[in-house]
A and B are shown apart, each in its own frame.
Chain A
């Protein structure tokens, strides 16, 4: 188990000390940051502060230096987003700050994605993502999509207010094996069940795994609706996607 003082970057040390209370989360972050390069910690720090220009510049510099794209993504960008996710959950920061951090992540990913695509690595799987019919919220969904792409999935984003038919058409057209649905309103959550029912009616249910998420969604709800899995946040979404498609 690493110690806090083994983390090179002072800002990261302060962030963990002041904002991360749950012992298991704290230790996991300390362990991850303690073994990452100072330049990666600098990227993570800039992302946590929402400084997209700095993340852009530091990401480019790291790649020019010869650091592997996957390392920059995991130890710089995703590591930073992990702290952001916890701060948001604890109401230390709110949506405007999260959007600024997501913008910073996107700035970094602009340099990473072409390298990953060109490397000829096959995507881990194809995922169709959308917010259900009647629901216009997409901030959480967009974070999930960013993380899924970062983790190596090919993602087809259907946007918001997606009807069951559009989900079905997209899954068929792209031969996706995973569908992710998001709902932020408890009144639109039942549309997850309607979409799953539509897949059953279309005799497609066995061809695709279905995961659901969104602030009001719970595991019990996901089970009742007939989903295969429930992800409580963007990081959990990636873990769940890998589990459902049996990839590492």
Chain B
């Protein structure tokens, strides 16, 4: 720890680099939007996923109302899939927009084309504009985290989950060709957000242990993730849901700044595997703790992560839209209290 007080942005960037911080930052690489926050600033889904002013306004509540050290405006995982031509079900206020994966747009690698208007499509431009607005409003006071989807996730969206997984088994060569084409979308969208003012990028790539083996990650994605950490000039926070201890060793080798890990993986065990080669962000349980229980249980999980030495604390994934605000504000409160208790002890 450093005695020098830091602002939120400094704190997050230092933690992503595993440098000394004044206290552990509270960071959300994924959405902390809720239906009540939407009411508070009158920025409802689905419009807050499509209009930059609404997107920025809703995202800012993570910092101004909840007390997090970051603002992450890309609530959903479908913005670039929309720009790539996928059909989107935009849903309503209380539900996430989704890709209509039952209506895939690709069947083979040759079908994958990054359209010329990929970055000017309304749904990618919305993100880029929202980041610009947030940077202008908040200056250097808070970390602004963008998001660009990885090629495995884009493969699910464009091919459909089942066809893509079957392809990965039937034809690894074609699967690699798909990933090589899709990675250019990941890089282009990431660069545009950095240029607009993003301090870091979340990169979700759902090769989760609940679907595929650790060997799959090593075979298909590790080298691509190394490439992303080299081509994108900002700290990258890799996000993979579900059980991932069997692939954390590979993830730690990628050179990415941080790994956003799920509550199915114990903090202490995860820290032991990564051995400070990558920062860990997480891993407060969404459905069972943040959504279903109360502030006391939230605090206990925050403490568990802090005691394990996790570098940035936050929810494990995009929080359920009906999560209670009192549980979310408990997170920074618990982090502060823990540090105060530590200081008293030392």
Contacts and interface: CB of A to CB of B under 8 A. Distances in A.
Are A and B direct contacts in the complex by CB distance below 8 Å?
yes
Interface stretch (B96-104, B136-144, B250-258): B96-104
B168 interface: yes
Given A133-B95, A187-B286, A216-B287, A99 B165 contact: yes
A134 to B, nearest CB: 5
A187 B285 CA distance: 11
Contacts of A94: 211-213, 216
Contacts of B96: 134
A100 B287 contact: no
Interface residues on A, range: 20 to 34
A246 interface: no
A72 to B, nearest CB: 24
B288 interface: yes
Interface in A83-100: 94-97, 99-100
A228 B320 CA distance: 27
A186 B288 contact: yes
Interface string A49-86: 01000000000000000000000000000000000000
Contact of A159 (B102, B168, B286, B287): B102
B165 A96 contact: yes
B179 to A, nearest CB: 15
A154 interface: no
B6 interface: no
Interface in A132-149: 133-134, 136, 139
Interface in A147-164: 159-161
A170 interface: no
Contacts of A99: 162, 165-166, 169
B291 interface: yes
Nearest to B170: A100
Contacts of B161: 139
A95 B320 contact: no
Contact of B101 (A103, A136, A185): A136
Given A96-B212, A133-B95, A134-B95, A185 B162 contact: no
Interface in A105-148: 133-134, 136, 139
B168 A96 contact: yes
A187 B320 contact: yes
Contacts of B211: 94-96
A95 B287 contact: no
A167 B161 CA distance: 24
Contact of B98 (A136, A139, A186): A136
Interface string B143-172: 000000000000000000110011011100
A161 B168 contact: no
Contacts of A95: 165, 210-212
B287 to A, nearest CB: 3
Contacts of B168: 96
Nearest to A97: B169
B107 to A, nearest CB: 16
A187 B291 contact: yes
A95 to B, nearest CB: 5
Task: Specify which of A94, A159, A161 lies most central, judged by the most chain B CB atoms within 10 Å of its CB.
Answer: A94
Contacts of A133: 95
B329 to A, nearest CB: 20
A189 B170 CA distance: 33
A159 B286 CA distance: 26
A133 B211 CA distance: 21
Nearest to A93: B213
A139 B287 contact: no
Interface in B153-200: 161-162, 165-166, 168-170
A100 B166 contact: yes
B288 to A, nearest CB: 7
A218 to B, nearest CB: 12
B169 A100 contact: yes
Contacts of B210: 95
Contact of B166 (A103, A136, A160): A103
Nearest to B320: A187
A183 B62 CA distance: 29
A138 to B, nearest CB: 8
Given A159-B102, A185-B287, A216-B287, A96 B169 contact: yes
A184 to B, nearest CB: 9
Interface of B: 89, 95-96, 98, 101-102, 161-162, 165-166, 168-170, 210-213, 216, 286-288, 291, 320
Interface of A: 50, 94-97, 99-100, 103, 133-134, 136, 139, 159-161, 185-187, 189, 216
18 contacts: A50-B169, A94-B216, A95-B165, A95-B210, A96-B165, A96-B169, A97-B169, A99-B162, A99-B165, A100-B166, A133-B95, A160-B102, A161-B89, A161-B98, A186-B286, A187-B286, A187-B291, A216-B287
Q: Which 4 A-B pairs have CB atoms at the shortest separation, nearest pair first? A: A186-B287, A187-B320, A96-B165, A96-B169
Given A136-B98, A161-B89, 9 more contacts: A94-B211, A96-B169, A97-B169, A99-B169, A100-B166, A159-B102, A187-B287, A187-B291, A187-B320
